[in-house]
Chain A
Amino acid sequence: MSSIDLIVGPIHPALHEPERFVFKIDGEIVVDVEPRLGYVHRGIEKALSERTYIKDIYLVERVCGICNVAHTLTAAQAIEQAFGVEVPRRSKYLRTIVHELNRLHSHLLILGVVCELIGFDTLFMLFWRDREVIMDLIEMITGNRVMSAYNIIGGVRRNIGDFEVTQIKGVLSSLAKRVKQYKKVFMDDPTIRARCAGVGYLSRAKALALGAVGPTARGSGLELDVRVDEPYAAYDEVKYCAVIYNDGDVWARLMVRLDELLASMEVINECLDKMPSGPIRVPVPEAAPQSAEGVSVIEAPRGELIHHVYTKRDDDKPFRYRIRTPTYANIPAVCEMLKGCYIADIPAILASIDPCFSCTDRAALIDTNSGEKRIIDILSLARRSKK
């Protein structure tokens, strides 16, 4: 039986980001899939070990724009662990609030994108309209809509007062009503059921073996949620239950995200009520006080995110920095989901893992001008750009 290679990407309207997939197809059915990663590989891991810790926080923020708070939070926690710094309790609560607001906007974004891909543009517009109010809240707290620059080693950069607390509560209570309505639409709208239910099936055993994380794993009935398993920041003091769906299809993964929206809002409200007063940041030495290793695992909007840092005594740069992002872990799982599906379902399945390829690819530079291949560091690149 012969099969045809269908090449999707690197530029493809459904993916929004450059990544190439080679699908082996037989008629309308995908038989095998081979991903080619690396189109947005920027050498961030190498660049991180050539900059100081303070600058690193802003560089990891740019690993992925959408889940930037998750990255800065993980980096700050990993570096604090290696430094042996304990942050104030209030800053832990503030970190949790901004992290959850970030999750709200990320989930609303991908739900909108999936609706657009399955041809339900009305719902796409409505999701993105509701996302705007979350963006306004993030701007109010952090000073920018997307790039929050909020977490820092030793705490957070800005405090919130009574005005912000009432604003957040007001917005969230009206948003919760809307999300509940959207959930009803997802439950019984025939268009969504027809395009999502039973599509892109991933069994629990496969999800575990292929290392799926986040909503992808939880949509397949795998109880993996770092917020419950290894509580970080303020999660050990607030109530939170992992959202699990057992269907394992695109619909289940979207429902996990919809339910997480409601759960996140409860977490934010609880944090706002319980938030202790006190300082929001502690001074941290510029250079590492000890040679140590820091590991931080958190639940980013797309799943489990891990930063692993080696510090060296009296050096203000990390010795080795390693990032494993959630989409990277989900790539083997999505390849499994795509096998046996129809070509028309490819965009919906890909979008259901909430792919973020700028996260997945991250560090090497080639000097094309002189024709020779060598690794040049980011500083000399910056110097060159000034000429």
Chain B
Amino acid sequence: MRLPSLIREVWANLLKKPATVKYPFEKLPLSKTYRGKHELMRDRCVGCGLCAKICPAFAITMRSVYGKVSPEVDLAKCIFCYQCEDVCPRGAIKRGKEYELASWSRNEMIVR
């Protein structure tokens, strides 16, 4: 009986560092293009509403706060396609790096 060729692989893995990381204590690096939580720059926004119109998941609504209309992103609905970033004429929406988005309440899921 011949030794299966995978045996060597198994032995090598015993000596190697594990392929996984201990997640909450250790995090993998993110790519530069990563699409995480939105960063809205309200001072740049002109309130045109293009992002709300184009959003495929109906996640963006335009809300008036102190007389200034600006977008509100509901992360519970967002699909993180960043089409809103593409259409924004002023570059007011930026891709963030935050990806731990779980929350206890719906209100905390809204980016203003």
Contact B9 A143, beta carbon cutoff 8 Å? no
Whether A184 contacts B5 in the complex (CB less than 8 A), given A129-B19, A140-B31, A147-B80, comes out as yes
A121 CB to closest chain B CB, in angstroms? 11
Closest to B19 in A: A129
Contact A122 B10, beta carbon cutoff 8 Å? yes
Closest to B85 in A: A157
Contact B6 A123, beta carbon cutoff 8 Å? yes
Which residues of A are found within 8 Å of B58, using beta-carbon distances? 379, 382
**In the complex, B94 has a CB within 8 A of chain A:** no
Q: Which of A32-40, A52-60, A226-234, A260-268 contacts B (4 or more CB under 8 A)?
A: A52-60
- Within the complex, which residue of A59, A157, A188 is in contact with B56, where a contact is CB–CB below 8 Å? A59
**In the complex, A236 has a CB within 8 A of chain B:** no
Q: Which of A132, A144, A181 has the most CB of B within 10 A?
A: A144
Contact B95 A122, beta carbon cutoff 8 Å? no
C-beta contact mask, A258-283 vs B, less than 8 Å → 1, else 0? 00000000000000000000000000
Closest to A129 in B: B19
Contact B81 A181, beta carbon cutoff 8 Å? no
Closest to A140 in B: B31
Which residues of A are found within 8 Å of B19, using beta-carbon distances? 129, 132
Q: What interface size band does chain B fall in? A: 20 to 34
Closest to A383 in B: B58
Whether A55 contacts B56 in the complex (CB less than 8 A), given A143-B95, A157-B86, comes out as yes
Which residues of B are found within 8 Å of A190, using beta-carbon distances? 4
Contact B56 A143, beta carbon cutoff 8 Å? no
Which residues of B are found within 8 Å of A363, using beta-carbon distances? none
Closest to A157 in B: B86
**In the complex, A298 has a CB within 8 A of chain B:** no
C-beta contact mask, B72-112 vs A, less than 8 Å → 1, else 0? 00000101111100100000000100000000000000000
C-beta contact mask, B19-45 vs A, less than 8 Å → 1, else 0? 100000000001111110000000000
Contact B6 A185, beta carbon cutoff 8 Å? yes
**In the complex, A86 has a CB within 8 A of chain B:** no
C-beta contact mask, A44-58 vs B, less than 8 Å → 1, else 0? 000000010011011
Closest to A379 in B: B58
**In the complex, B54 has a CB within 8 A of chain A:** yes
**In the complex, B46 has a CB within 8 A of chain A:** no
CA distance A144 to B31 in the complex (A): 9
5 CB-based A-B contacts, threshold 8 Å: A54-B56, A55-B54, A62-B79, A143-B34, A157-B86
- The 6 lowest CB-CB distance pairs between A and B, nearest first, are A143-B33, A58-B56, A55-B56, A149-B81, A143-B35, A382-B58
